[in-house]
C-alpha cells in the first residue's frame, strides 16, 4: 500500500470563537498541494516505522510518531493487533503549518484500512481521525474542503480553479499551541464564499478580503515569516501571498503551476520551498453526504 500525504494549505483561516476547553473555532478553506510525504504499509507480525527523506531528522528521536498513534488507534477500534511495517518518506518540514504530521496520520488510516482489509467508509475513519488531531479529518479527505468547528466539521469547498502554488518556509519550526496562545484581539466572522471561482485571479481577489488570523501572532514569535511573505509578494505573477495554518510556511497563488515551479526556484536556497499545482483529486470528486456527516 502506498499513500500520498499531501501538504495542507489554509487559503484563509478565521478564528471565529473559542470553546470552553480552550480550542479555537475556525472557518478555513483548505486545499492540498502537489507535494507531500509518502507512506508505505506492508504486512508484518509487529508494528514498525522506518523514516527517511529530507525532513525526517527532527522525528527520528520521537517515540510517538502520529503515524504509529493512528495505527494503534485503528487497530484498537477494529479489535485486531496493530501489525504492519510502515515506512514514511518525510518531505514536508515538521511543525510548519501545512499539516505534515496530520497528513501522515491520515495516510496511515487510509493505508491500514486497505492493508487490514477493513473496508471502513471515510466517515467512519474520520471519527478516529478527529481523535488524533484537529487537522486530521480534513487530511483524511485530502481534497478541497471548508473546515469549521475545531476542524471536524467539513463541507464541500467552492469550485477551485487551476492555480499555481508556491510554498516557502524559513526552516523555523513553530509550535501550533504557542501561536494560538499568542493570538489576541476580536474574533472574525464566518466568511461569505461564492459557489466557485472562474479563475485564479478571481479567487485571489476574493481571498484578499479574508485573512489568516494566526499570521500576526506567528510573525511575533517568528519574525522571518515577514521576510518570507515579502519575498513571495515580490514573485512575478504573485496574485496573493499569505501564511498557512499556524505557520511558518507561507504560500503564494499564481495563475499557472509551471510559473509557480519557476518562481519557487528563485527563492533563497536556505528555505524549504516548492512550486507547482494542487494535489490531483479524482475528476468530479465531491464530498458526499456521508462525508459531510462525519462530525463525531
Ligand atoms: C492551525 C491548524 C489550521 O489548519 O493547522 P496547523 O498549523 O497545525 O497546520 C490546525 O487547526 C491545527 O490542527 P492540529 O495541528 O491537528 O492541532 P491539534 O494537535 O489538535 O492541537 C494542538 C493545539 O493547538 C490548539 N488548537 C488546535 C486546533 C484548534 N481548532 N484550536 C486550537 O486552539 C490547541 O492549543 C491544541 O492543544
Ligand atoms: N509524522 C509526523 N510528521 C510531523 N510531525 C509529527 C509526526 N509525528 C509526530 N509529529 C509531531 O507533531 C508536531 C506537529 O507536526 P506537523 O503536523 O508537522 O505540524 P503542522 O501541522 O504545524 O505542520 C511536531 O512538532 C512533531 O513533534
Tens-digit pLDDT profile for residues 87-128: 999 999 999 999 999 999 999 999 999 999 999 999 999 999
Inter-CA distances, 168 with 8, 12, 83, 290, Å: 13, 16, 36, 35
2-156 against 164-276: fold identical = no
pLDDT band at 281 (very low <50, low <70, confident <90, very high): low
3-state secondary structure of 240: strand
Yes or no: say if 218 and 65 are a contact pair by the CB < 8 Å rule.
no
Indicate the CATH number for domain 2-156.
3.30.230.10
Q: How far is the CA of 17 from the centre of ligand 2 (A)?
A: 24
Q: Residue 126 half-sphere exposure, CB side, CA atoms within 13 Å? A: 20
Distance 46 CA to ligand 2 centre (A): 23
Per-domain residue ranges of the chain: 2-156, 164-276
> In this predicted model, what pLDDT tens digit does every residue of 158-181 receive, in sequence order?
999 999 999 999 999 999 999 999
In the residue annotation, 45 being an active-site residue is answered as no
DSSP bridge pairs for 241: 252
C-beta 249 within 6 A of ligand 1: no
pLDDT tens, residue by residue, 257-279: 999 999 999 999 999 999 999 99
Predicted TM-score of the model (pTM): 0.95
Tell the CATH topology of 164-276: Alpha-Beta Plaits (3.30.70)
Predicted-complex ipTM score: 0.97
Amino acid at each position: 500500500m502506498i499513500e500520498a500525504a499531501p501538504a495542507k494549505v489554509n487559503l484563509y483561516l478565521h478564528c471565529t470563537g473559542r470553546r470552553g476547553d480552550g480550542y479555537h473555532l475556525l472557518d478555513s478553506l483548505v486545499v492540498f498541494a502537489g507535494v507531500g510525504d509518502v507512506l508505505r504499509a506492508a504486512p508484518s507480525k509487529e508494528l514498525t516505522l522506518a523514516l527517511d527523506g529530507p525532513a525526517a531528522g527532527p522525528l527520528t528521536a520521537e517515540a510517538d510518531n502520529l503515524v504509529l498513534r493512528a495505527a494503534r488507534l485503528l487497530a484498537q477500534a477494529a479489535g485486531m493487533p496493530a501489525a504492519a511495517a510502515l515506512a514514511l518518506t518525510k518531505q514536508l518540514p515538521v511543525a510548519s503549518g501545512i499539516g505534515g504530521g496530520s497528513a501522515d496520520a491520515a495516510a496511515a488510516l487510509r493505508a491500514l484500512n486497505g492493508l487490514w482489509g477493513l473496508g471502513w467508509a471515510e466517515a467512519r475513519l474520520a471519527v478516529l481521525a478527529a481523535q488524533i488531531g484537529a487537522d486530521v479529518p480534513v487530511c483524511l479527505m485530502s481534497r478541497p474542503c471548508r473546515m469549521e468547528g475545531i476542524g471536524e466539521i467539513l463541507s464541500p469547498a467552492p469550485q477551485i480553479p487551476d492555480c499555481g502554488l508556491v510554498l516557502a518556509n524559513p526552516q523555523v519550526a513553530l509550535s501550533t499551541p504557542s501561536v494560538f496562545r499568542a493570538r489576541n484581539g476580536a474574533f472574525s466572522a464566518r466568511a461569505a464564499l461564492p459557489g466557485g471561482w472562474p479563475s485564479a485571479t478571481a479567487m485571489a481577489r476574493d481571498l484578499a478580503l479574508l485573512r489568516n488570523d494566526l499570521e500576526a501572532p506567528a510573525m511575533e514569535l517568528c519574525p522571518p515569516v515577514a521576510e518570507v511573505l515579502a519575498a513571495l509578494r515580490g514573485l512575478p505573477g504573485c496574485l496573493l501571498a499569505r501564511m498557512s495554518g499556524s505557520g511558518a510556511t507561507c504560500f503564494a497563488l499564481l495563475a499557472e503551476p509551471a510559473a509557480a515551479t519557476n518562481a519557487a526556484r528563485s527563492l533563497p536556497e536556505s528555505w524549504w520551498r516548492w512550486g507547482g499545482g494542487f494535489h490531483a483529486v479524482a475528476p468530479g470528486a465531491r464530498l458526499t453526504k456521508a462525508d459531510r456527516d462525519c462530525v463525531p
